[in-house]
Structure 1
Amino acid sequence: MSELFDEVDEEVRREQLKKLWDQYSLYIIAAAVLIVAAVAGWRGYQYLEAQKAAEAGAAFEAAIELVEQNKNAEAEAAFDKLATTAPSGYRMLARLRAAGEVAARDPKAGAKMYDELASDRSIGTEQQDLARIRAAGLLLDTEGYPNMLQRLETAAKPDATFRHTARELLALSAWRANDNTAARQWLDLIANDGETPSAMRQRAEALQALLPPVAKS
């Protein structure tokens, strides 16, 4: 008797499943097709992005080879092209290298390109600070300390990646402007930062020795 009931239950379950399938089969099939299409689309997107990155990497290396061959005009053109067509990472690197190529023949024009990078929030804080520092280095001989401070104060903060270089440039700019108080301020920050590179620490000590002694009160 129990076997009969089991067969009846099994038949009932089959009938229920059949009704569910008849009612929802189109939706189930459509959902499955959408899932397969989405996975295929994502895989295709990943493949295309990887291919673009590989092509951009090869073009970037080729541009660097042009620099090494002293074909500066061709290298500059190659970096400019990458700066507009490459994926975001290579695009940012190409803009930095393009600015460097321009700076080699025209420091003011190169500094302007670095300034454009420094004001571009889409590239990230570290890259912005790097651009600020490179622009400041190009203009160190022509801009006064107040302008250098405006350029580099953000990059010289305690948590900034390139703070050491920013502080060194500010100390040097202040010293050239005969602002001994400001120069000491930046040199003290360099000396008291445990992560300051040793070579930079030595340069800071040498510059500190050039400052007049602090007047006693």
Structure 2
Amino acid sequence: MTELFSEVDDELRREQLRKIWSRYSGLIIAAAVLIMIGVGGWRGYQYLQAQKAAKAGAAFEAAVALADQNKHAEAEAAFTKLAETAPPGYRNLSRLRAAAEAARHDPKEAVKLYDAIVADKGFGTAERDLARVRAAGLLLDTETYDNMLQRLKSATAPEAPFRHTARELLALSAWRANDTTAARKWLDMINEDGQTPSSLRSRAEALQALLPPVAKS
């Protein structure tokens, strides 16, 4: 008797499956095809992206080699081209390198390139701070302290990756402007930061020695 009931149940299930297949077979096949197309498309997209990244990586290494060989005009052109055509990671690196190459012969143009990077939200905070610091370094001898402060203040925050260089540039700018109060402020921040590199700390101590002694109250 149990076997009979089991056979009946099996037959009922088969009948239900036949009805479902008869009614929805087109949808089931279409869904399966769409899934296969989707998976195949995603795999194809990943392959194309990997190919683009590999090509951009090779081109970036070639541009770096040109820079290492002191072929700076060619390197700048190569980095500029990559900045226009490469995937995002290499594009950002190429823009930074193109600005660095431009700084060798046209500091004003380099500052424009760095400022464009600072304004571009497609770059990470560290990359934008690096651009801030490099642009400020090119402007140290010509820019006012107030303008330097406006450029660099956000890069001097306690966790900012380039805070040490940003603070040093502001200390030098304040010293050039005869603003000893501001110069001491930045030099104190350099000296009090336990992560300040030793070479930078030594330069800060040398600059501190050039400042007039603090008046006793």
Range into which the TM-score falls when normalised by the shorter chain? over 0.9
Distance in structure 2 (CA, Å) of the matches to 1:61 and 1:148: 34
- 1:39 — aligned with what? 39
Residue 122 of structure 1, CA deviation: 1.4
Q: Secondary structure at the match of 1:121?
A: coil
Residue 69 of structure 1, CA deviation: 2.1
Distance in structure 1 (CA, Å) of the matches to 2:14 and 2:214: 96
Distance in structure 2 (CA, Å) of the matches to 1:45 and 1:13: 41
Q: Secondary structure at the match of 2:104?
A: helix
Give structure 1 stretches of 5+ with no counterpart. none
Amino acid at match of 1:151: R
1:179 aligns with 2:179: yes
Distance in structure 2 (CA, Å) of the matches to 1:36 and 1:192: 61
Farther-moved stretch of structure 1 (63-72 vs 127-136): 63-72
1:21 aligns with 2:21: yes
Residue 42 of structure 1, CA deviation: 0.9
Amino acid at match of 1:108: K
Q: What is the RMSD of the two structures over their aligned residues, measured on CA atoms?
A: 1.1
- 1:113 — aligned with what? 113
Distance in structure 2 (CA, Å) of the matches to 1:6 and 1:21: 22
Give structure 2 stretches of 5+ with no counterpart. none
Residue 20 of structure 1, CA deviation: 1.1
Query: Normalising to structure 1: TM-score of the pair?
Result: 0.96
Residue 194 of structure 1, CA deviation: 1.6
Distance in structure 1 (CA, Å) of the matches to 2:191 and 2:159: 16
- 1:144 — aligned with what? 144
Q: After superposition, give the CA deviation of every residue in 1:118-137 in whole Å (9 maximum; x if it has no partner).
A: 11111122111110100000
Amino acid at match of 2:118: A
Distance in structure 1 (CA, Å) of the matches to 2:121 and 2:2: 75
Distance in structure 2 (CA, Å) of the matches to 1:12 and 1:209: 96
Residue 70 of structure 1, CA deviation: 2.2
Amino acid at match of 2:171: A
Give the count of matched residue pairs: 217
1:71 aligns with 2:71: yes
Q: How does 1:1-217 map to 2 (within 5 A)?
A: 1-217=1-217
Q: After superposition, give the CA deviation of every residue in 1:124-168 in whole Å (9 maximum; x if it has no partner).
A: 221111101000001101112111101100111112111111001
Amino acid at match of 1:210: L
Q: After superposition, give the CA deviation of every residue in 1:184-211 in whole Å (9 maximum; x if it has no partner).
A: 1111111111211121112111211111
Q: Secondary structure at the match of 1:104?
A: coil
Farther-moved stretch of structure 1 (28-37 vs 131-140): 28-37
Residue 216 of structure 1, CA deviation: 1.2
Distance in structure 1 (CA, Å) of the matches to 2:2 and 2:105: 96
Residue 55 of structure 1, CA deviation: 0.5
Q: After superposition, give the CA deviation of every residue in 1:66-111 in whole Å (9 maximum; x if it has no partner).
A: 1122222211111111010001111111111111111101112211
Distance in structure 1 (CA, Å) of the matches to 2:3 and 2:107: 94
Q: After superposition, give the CA deviation of every residue in 1:6-45 in whole Å (9 maximum; x if it has no partner).
A: 2112111111111111111211111111111111111111
Q: Which consecutive aligned stretches of 4+ in structure 1 deviate over 4 angstroms post-superposition?
A: none
Query: Normalising to structure 2: TM-score of the pair?
Result: 0.96
